[in-house]
């Protein structure tokens, strides 16, 4: 069982892309430990340049990206607005190739059967690794919550209570 000092995760933050910088920081703090970042393609796209930081500083982290070319977390917004294409489809990006451009090892896999061998090779690599896993779009597990939060959970303050802050 992993302890709270071994996991950096806060899915409630709502800040896409924090996984890769967190992984770099964890490796800097604990260079003797294996550091694995599991992320989606939308979030990774926000901070993918941090692979260059990992390569430059020799931070042998392992990034596993589930690449479905979607912003899955935002799909409910489109449903609320009755617009199924509401900014949820992303360009198909080959993150493995991008990782190699930053000086990392970057295998692509298309089946889970290939994962154990690729994962073992990645853990023994002498440089940062990003494993790009092509997957089908799957709804975010929290999708059922967003419409209620959006429609009822956030209320704007009354106009006279609002003020500009510079």
pLDDT given for residue 89 in this prediction: 75
Q: What is the CATH number of the domain that holds 62?
A: 3.40.50.970
Q: From CA 116, how far away is CA 43, in angstroms rounded? A: 24
Q: Which two tokens stand for residue 126?
A: 């002498």
pLDDT given for residue 138 in this prediction: 74
The answer as to whether 72 is a domain residue is yes
pLDDT given for residue 85 in this prediction: 67
pLDDT given for residue 111 in this prediction: 85
CB distance 44 to 111 below 8 Å: no
Q: Which alpha helices (H) appear in 5-94, and where do they start and end?
A: 19-29, 41-47, 50-56, 75-80
Q: From CA 114, how far away is CA 147, in angstroms rounded? A: 37
The answer as to whether 1 is a domain residue is no
Nearest to 35 by CA among 43, 25, 47: 25
* Number of domains the chain contains: 1
Q: Which residues of 48-75 are buried (b: 16+ CB within 10 A; e: fewer)?
A: bebbebbbeeebbbbbbbbbbbbbbbbb
Q: From CA 74, how far away is CA 82, in angstroms rounded? A: 13
The answer as to whether 2 is a domain residue is no
The answer as to whether 37 is a domain residue is no
CB distance 93 to 99 below 8 Å: no
The answer as to whether 36 is a domain residue is no
The answer as to whether 61 is a domain residue is yes
Residue numbers of the domain that contains 125: 46-152
pLDDT given for residue 48 in this prediction: 94
pLDDT given for residue 69 in this prediction: 79
The answer as to whether 135 is a domain residue is yes
pLDDT given for residue 17 in this prediction: 79
129 burial level (CB within 10 Å; 0-12, 13-18, 19+) = buried
pTM (two decimals): 0.76
pLDDT given for residue 117 in this prediction: 94
3-state secondary structure at position 149: helix
Tens place of pLDDT per residue across the chain (166 aa): 556 566 666 555 556 778 899 999 999 999 999 999 999 888 898 899 999 999 999 999 999 998 887 776 666 666 667 776 666 778 889 999 999 999 999 999 988 899 999 999 998 999 999 999 998 877 766 666 666 665 665 545 565 654 544 4
DSSP assignment, residue 157? P
The answer as to whether 117 is a domain residue is yes
């Amino acid at each position: 069982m992993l302890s709270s000092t071994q996991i950096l995760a806060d899915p409630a933050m709502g800040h896409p892309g924090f996984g890769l910088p967190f992984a770099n920081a964890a490796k800097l703090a604990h260079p003797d430990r294996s550091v694995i970042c599991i992320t989606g393609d939308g979030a990774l796209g926000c901070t993918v340049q941090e692979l260059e930081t990992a390569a430059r500083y020799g931070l042998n982290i392992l990034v596993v990206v589930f690449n479905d070319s979607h912003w899955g977390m935002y799909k409910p917004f489109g449903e609320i607005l009755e617009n199924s294409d509401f900014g949820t489809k992303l360009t198909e990006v080959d993150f493995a190739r991008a990782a190699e451009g930053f000086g990392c090892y970057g295998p692509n896999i298309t089946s889970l059967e290939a994962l154990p061998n690729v994962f073992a090779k990645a853990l023994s690599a002498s440089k940062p690794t990003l494993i790009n896993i092509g997957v089908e779009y799957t709804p975010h597990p929290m999708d059922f919550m967003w419409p209620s939060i959006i429609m009822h959970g956030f209320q704007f303050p009354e106009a006279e209570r609002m003020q500009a802050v510079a």
